[in-house]
Every structure is written in structure tokens, then in C-alpha cells.
């Protein structure tokens, strides 16, 4: 096929003098500004492959919603089996690549790395029925909690909160199984699709509903209980970041909120630090909260009074 894109003016000019530029880039890449993991070239996981994998997993879990709408009782198991086999075969290679970026990737041989990737992928596949059960509870929570929702199909196909939690359930399991880099990539793909940013380390109970959703941020060490509902632009973030004496941030510290069961948090609320929102509480819109809240509380902005 003929290329219809015109050549930019001067593109064929022979005197770009790129030799020194290429040399300086090589020195920067190899020595001066080397940012490679442990100083070595490694195969990166593929965002494109992970997108295909998540689509395949979604189709295997919900065949008529995310797979093929014309499946019958006779064909559905064949479709699920074929889709799942293909998807898991793709996933194991991405897990292997993700393991290259673990804390101590040089401790294992290539053979051991392949075996570990296979074991993780097998464990991930075994957990898919449990993930589906959680996702069904999330969809049911949306149907029960949103008067505008007309059907399960509408929620699964049209609600960004549902798509975000779908990606999170997959990403969180990968995070639990020891491939946090791969989990982060899956999470970021979901973020790009929905505008909802959930770190894969966040622990989220069943029947979770994000209504509207744009701008929601949930940090790495957040813990969310059962039947929690969030609205758009809610932040469950960190209040401060502890650091070493040299200023390097200490990683892995619990620094995000704990939200107990049956809590509702309305639009624009910002909740920071390792505080606890007690069960059954309601947090009003645009509230800035840095202190724990007792169970059954209602927190709203202070009323402005004019004399």
C-alpha cells in the first residue's frame, strides 16, 4: 500500500550531522544517566499484551458481557476453556518478564524464573472463581445503590467504576502473588481507561461501588471494608511520607486510610493518613479529613455563618 503521508520538507537532507548526537545518547544511556534496573537491559512487560490478557480474563469470567453475546449453553464452556487457555499462556510470559524487576532478580536462573512464573500463573488462574464472585458482588452493589442503573449489563458495559474495580481485582491478585510491577501496569491501564487510580496494593472488600468515579484516588496501603461506596474525586491518600536521614522516602509504611464496612464517602472528600473511618459512617462532599471517625458518624463541612 502506498504511503499517503507526505515526506516533511528536508527529510531526505544528507547533512543532519546525527553521528555525535547518537554517540552522546549512547554514553548517556550506558554510563552517565543509566537508569536500567540493576544496570542491565531487561525485557519489559508489554502494555499491549496485558490489555489483551485483561480482555481475555474478562471474557472468560463474563463470557456474554465481555466475550461473545451469541454464546449458547452448549458453546459457552468451550469458549471459556479456549479463551482461558490462550490468555493464561499469554500471561505466563508477562509474569516472567515482571519477575525480572523483582527486588533480587539475579538470585535465580532463567529456568527457575520460568518455573516461578508458571507457579504464579497457575495460582492466579486458580483464584479466578473467587475474583468473579467479588466482581459480581461489586456489580450487585452498583445495581442496588444507583437509582439510575437499569440492568447488570448497563453497569458492566457503561460504568467506569465497574471497569476500574475489574482491573483492580486482577491487579491486586498479581500484587499478592509477588509481581508488583506487572500489577502496577495492569492498574495503570485501568486508570487510563477510567480516570480512576487504584494502587494494586490497596485491599478492597466485596460489594464495592464507585459511582461516577472520575478522579478517585486510592493509595497503596488503603484498606476498604465491605459494602463501601465512593463518589467521584474522592482521595484516600497519605498525609505525610516518612523518610530516612538522607531524605530517601521509606517504602512500605502503612500511610493510607482504613475505611470500615458500610461507609459512604461523597464527592470531593479528601481523607489522608493512617486514620480509621468507623463502620456505618457518612463523609460529606469536599470534606478534608485527617483524624479518625467513630462508627456511625456523619462528617460534613462546617456551616458558614454571616452575622
When the pLDDT of each residue in the chain is averaged and rounded to a whole number, the result is 91
Min mean pLDDT across 3-7, 77-81, 284-288 is at 3-7
Asked if residue 186 lies in contact with residue 172, where contact means CB atoms within 8 angstroms, the answer is no
- Tell me the pLDDT tens digit for each residue of 120-171: 999 999 999 999 999 999 999 999 999 999 999 999 999 999 999 999 999 9
- Tell me the pLDDT tens digit for each residue of 227-267: 999 999 999 999 987 777 787 877 878 999 999 999 999 99
Min mean pLDDT across 28-42, 58-72, 257-271 is at 28-42
Q: Quick one: cell of 80?
A: 471459556
Contacts of 46 (CB under 8 A, 6+ apart): 94, 97
pLDDT of residue 1: 52
Q: Tell me which residue of 155, 120, 151 sits closest to 135, measured CA to CA.
A: 155
Q: Where in the chain is the domain with CATH 2.160.10.10?
A: 215-307
Q: Which architecture does CATH list for 43-196?
A: Orthogonal Bundle (1.10)
C-alpha–C-alpha distance, residues 206 and 208, integer Å: 5
pTM, entire model: 0.86
Q: Where in the chain is the domain with CATH 1.10.3130.10?
A: 43-196
Q: Which CATH class is domain 215-307?
A: mainly beta
How much is the average pLDDT of 294-307? Answer: 77
Over 60: is that where the pLDDT of 41 sits?
no
Grid look-up 460504568 returns 159
Q: Tell me which residue of 68, 66, 230, 226 sits closest to 156, measured CA to CA.
A: 66
- Give just the sign of the alpha carbon dihedral 18, 24, 27, 33: negative
Check residue 277 and report its DSSP letter: E
Amino acid at each position: 500500500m502506498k504511503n499517503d503521508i507526505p515526506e516533511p520538507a528536508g527529510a531526505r537532507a544528507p547533512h543532519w550531522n546525527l553521528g555525535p548526537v547518537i554517540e552522546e545518547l549512547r554514553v548517556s544511556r550506558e554510563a552517565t544517566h543509566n537508569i536500567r534496573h540493576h544496570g542491565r537491559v531487561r525485557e519489559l512487560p508489554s502494555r499491549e499484551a496485558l490489555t489483551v490478557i485483561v480482555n481475555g480474563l474478562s471474557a472468560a469470567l463474563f463470557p456474554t458481557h465481555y466475550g461473545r453475546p451469541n454464546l449458547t449453553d452448549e458453546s459457552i464452556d468451550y469458549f471459556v476453556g479456549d479463551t482461558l487457555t490462550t490468555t493464561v499462556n499469554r500471561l505466563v510470559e508477562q509474569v516472567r518478564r515482571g519477575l525480572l524487576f523483582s527486588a533480587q532478580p539475579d538470585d535465580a536462573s532463567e529456568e527457575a524464573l520460568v518455573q516461578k512464573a508458571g507457579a504464579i500463573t497457575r495460582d492466579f488462574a486458580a483464584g479466578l472463581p473467587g475474583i468473579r464472585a467479588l466482581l459480581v458482588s461489586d456489580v450487585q452493589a452498583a445495581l442496588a445503590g444507583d437509582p439510575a442503573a437499569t440492568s447488570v449489563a448497563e453497569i458492566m458495559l457503561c460504568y467506569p467504576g465497574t471497569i476500574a474495580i475489574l482491573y483492580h481485582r486482577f491487579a491486586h491478585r498479581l500484587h499478592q502473588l509477588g509481581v508488583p510491577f506487572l500489577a502496577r501496569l495492569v492498574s495503570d491501564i485501568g486508570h487510563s481507561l477510567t480516570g480512576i487510580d487504584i494502587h494494586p496494593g490497596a485491599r478492597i472488600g466485596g460489594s464495592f461501588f464507585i459511582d461516577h468515579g472520575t478522579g478517585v484516588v486510592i493509595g497503596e496501603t488503603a484498606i476498604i471494608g465491605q459494602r463501601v461506596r465512593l463518589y467521584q474525586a474522592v482521595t484516600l491518600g497519605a498525609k505525610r511520607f516518612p523518610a530516612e536521614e538522607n531524605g530517601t522516602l521509606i517504602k512500605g509504611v502503612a500511610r493510607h486510610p482504613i475505611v470500615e464496612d458500610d461507609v459512604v464517602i461523597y464527592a470531593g472528600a479528601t481523607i489522608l493518613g493512617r486514620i480509621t473511618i468507623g463502620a456505618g459512617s457518612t463523609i460529606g462532599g469536599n470534606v478534608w479529613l485527617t483524624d479518625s471517625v467513630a462508627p456511625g458518624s456523619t462528617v460534613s463541612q462546617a456551616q458558614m455563618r454571616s452575622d
